A and B are shown apart, each in its own frame.
Chain A
Amino acid sequence: MDTEALRIAVVGLGKMGLLHACILNTMPNVQLTAACEKSLFTRKLFKKILPSVPIVEEVHGFSGLDLDAVYITTPISSHFSVAKTVYEDRLARNLFIEKPLTSNYNESKELCDLVANYGGVNMVGYLRRFMVTFMKARELLVQGVIGEPTSFAINAFSSDFYGIREHAKVAASRGGVLKDLGSYTLDLALWFFGNVQVNSAKIESLNGGCSEDAVQYNVKQESDSLRGTVSVSWCIEGYRMPEVVLSIKGSNGAIEVNDDKVSLNLNNGDKSTWYRHNLNDNIEFWLGGPEYYREDAYFVKSITNNSLAEPSFETASKVDLLIEMIQQKAEKHD
């Protein structure tokens, strides 16, 4: 292995941890140096699959490995404690955390304070920022192609827990749909439109127990020049894969974007549609979708160049603040 390669470890060998570990291992300037996993079975299995990579039970086990960066892909409730340990034990300077940043705004704020003390590159995995369709839609908005935006709507749906009452506990352990799929909608709102305030919200539990399964909320910009309506649910039939659709109305036209395409309809009658095929979606290694590689390559490049990576912890903490505002405003509907 190249001595200049970045030494990166992954915490959590679930779906997202494995995906990042695999992609990072294909990058010529990265060495997958270690992994941390709580489950004994998974740990034993991966010790045999990757004999040259130390698989430890606790993140303290990374001590002495001279890591450049750590990816945290554990359940949301443990993001804060793992990240705090990484910083305070000086296990690595640079940190990537899967979305959302932490379970609550106080923890996220404390992490931002730690970053101020310890420095390094930090980033949160809001994947849609690396999807070519959403990148194109934002480019159109920033270029003013539809004029001043006046309203937007976001629908984020999946069938992950459609008609599955017996797994309400698992749904709850994922933090509920607002923190899971809903955090994407908040990050998109912030990325596209800047700071917004929550006007009203409703949270529903569709599968029983204490899980949050469907959320509707309304936001506005402080100036009240832009309003947005958002609907999120992981209990909708027919969404084999999670889908996020953002529609924006502006003074000169409208944009609609989802994971597959971007449509532009101008008031003068001009129309255009771009699919992934038209948007230079190629990457070096395909796993899960091109945006995963693009996201990891961007984080690695930010470390190499010692440049700011977005969405940073600071940016992502705003999502956590909005989540709390929604929860405070919401009326519970069981």
Chain B
Amino acid sequence: MIDSNEKLLLVGDNPFHNISHLSQERARARIEDPTDPKYAASLIEMAVENGANGFTFSVSESTLSILKELGERGIIERLHLYPVVPYAFEYVRLATQLGGLPALARKFGLEMVKSKNLSGIGLGLKGALTANPSSLIKTYLGYEISRIKSSVNKRVCIDSVLLHQLITDMALALDLDWLFDLYVNFILSKKMIPGFNTGNFAFLVDKFVEWNIDLRKVIIAAPFNKVGFQMTPSVEECEKALSALPEPVVIAISILAAGYILPEEAAKYIERLPNIRGIAVGISKEKHARETFSLFKNALGGSNISSTEY
């Protein structure tokens, strides 16, 4: 488990899925191919040499290939892993192609059977037959964690599993306090930190306080940048909620506002924020890998950051 004082400098995986939130056109025009696992692993390796100490990624076949590549290069043991589940984009795409939620559930059931995880299959079957959301969620989480573990060796440090923004925010919107409780307890039982990726940071903090969810036991990944990009409902409300946290549990994401602001400006903004545990930033070029993390290492206080050796 991670030292609670250690700052996190995470390589984000958006460019490895060819995502640019500034411009889809720009993502398509990239000359290098960051979706190639070997190239992605090289970028991460370079980032680690320049201050990065972790990797946050949606769990997909392509990111699992990157993990395997990092393992072969002997880099992975130096990384804190922060996987995000589910890879919502892929599931939405599949639901579109297959014809909705029931068809998706059938496909997922087949995947479970193929995995030969007997306890998971039992729990999943119970969940499917009784339409029991708790069983289905536990089955799904167990399946995803086993997928990650099968792609890395036992010495690798999976600090946390983060719930994808879409699911976190839907559950927030529907007031599903039981789901957050279930998630926190399940992930803690696996000796990991429950994480939540959200686009509604201030709303989430308010709800967690209302539901008595211990904010010291979780990690929250949320947008923080000087132009307020994706900071809902406003920069002021997000900063106020950040100040009210009992401990630094926030991983700032979208810190470059999807490439709209320069890393130097972003670092200055992050430097003045309280309760920031770390940052995550995507890289698609070698130049970014070399320069970005050393900059944020200084902004977050270099003494508390180390590339972990196990």
Contacts and interface: CB of A to CB of B under 8 A. Distances in A.
The answer to whether A binds B is: yes
Interface of A: 13-15, 18, 21-23, 25-26, 39, 41-42, 44-45, 47-50, 160-161, 164, 167, 170, 173, 238-241, 243, 258-261, 275-277, 282-288
Given A41-B105, A170-B97, A240-B89, A285 B173 contact: yes
B176 interface: yes
Interface stretch (B18-26, B45-53, B54-62, B274-282): B18-26
Given A160-B97, A241-B24, A260-B25, 9 more contacts: A13-B101, A18-B170, A22-B173, A39-B100, A41-B128, A238-B18, A240-B27, A258-B24, A277-B227
Given A285-B173, A285-B203, A240 B97 contact: no
A249 to B, nearest CB: 19
B39 interface: no
Given A49-B176, A285-B203, A287-B170, A44 B100 contact: no
B118 interface: no
B173 A41 contact: no
Interface in B15-50: 17-19, 21-25, 27-28
A173 B232 contact: no
B24 A240 contact: yes
A84 B130 CA distance: 34
A23 B199 CA distance: 13
Given A14-B101, A49-B176, A277 B260 contact: yes
Contacts of B71: none
A15 B102 contact: no
Nearest to B105: A41
Looking at A23, A261, A287, the one whose CB has the most chain B CB atoms below 10 A away is A287
A160 B93 CA distance: 7
B24 A286 contact: no
Given A45-B131, A277-B229, A286-B200, A39 B102 contact: yes
Given A45-B131, A48-B132, A286 B97 contact: no
B229 A276 contact: yes
B228 interface: yes
B10 interface: no
Given A25-B173, A44-B131, A286 B199 contact: yes
A207 to B, nearest CB: 11
B232 A285 contact: yes
Nearest to B95: A15
Interface in B131-175: 131-133, 136, 166, 169-170, 172-175
26 contacts: A21-B174, A39-B100, A41-B102, A45-B131, A45-B136, A160-B97, A164-B97, A167-B97, A167-B99, A170-B99, A173-B99, A239-B24, A240-B17, A240-B27, A260-B21, A260-B24, A261-B23, A275-B22, A277-B229, A283-B232, A285-B203, A285-B233, A286-B230, A286-B232, A287-B173, A287-B199
Contact of B25 (A42, A161, A258): A258
Given A22-B174, A39-B101, A277 B257 contact: yes
Interface in B82-106: 89, 92-93, 95-102, 105
B60 to A, nearest CB: 12
A123 to B, nearest CB: 21
Contacts of B89: 240
A45 B133 contact: yes
Contacts of B4: none
A277 B99 CA distance: 35
A240 B136 CA distance: 28
A276 B257 CA distance: 10
B102 A259 contact: no
A93 B255 CA distance: 45
A259 B260 CA distance: 15
Interface in B208-240: 227-234
Contacts of A286: 169, 199-200, 230, 232
B173 A284 contact: no
Contacts of B233: 282-285
A212 to B, nearest CB: 16
Contact of B173 (A23, A48, A161, A240): A23
Interface string B257-277: 100100000000000000000
A22 B99 contact: no
B203 A42 contact: no
- Which 7 pairs between the two chains have the least Cβ-Cβ distance? A44-B131, A286-B199, A22-B173, A286-B232, A45-B131, A170-B99, A260-B23
Contacts of A240: 17-19, 24, 27, 89
Nearest to A45: B131
Contacts of B176: 49
A23 B96 CA distance: 21
Nearest to A24: B173
A25 B93 contact: no
A287 B169 contact: yes
A131 to B, nearest CB: 13
B169 A22 contact: yes
A41 B131 CA distance: 6
A161 B101 contact: no
A304 to B, nearest CB: 20
Contacts of A275: 22, 260
A81 to B, nearest CB: 19
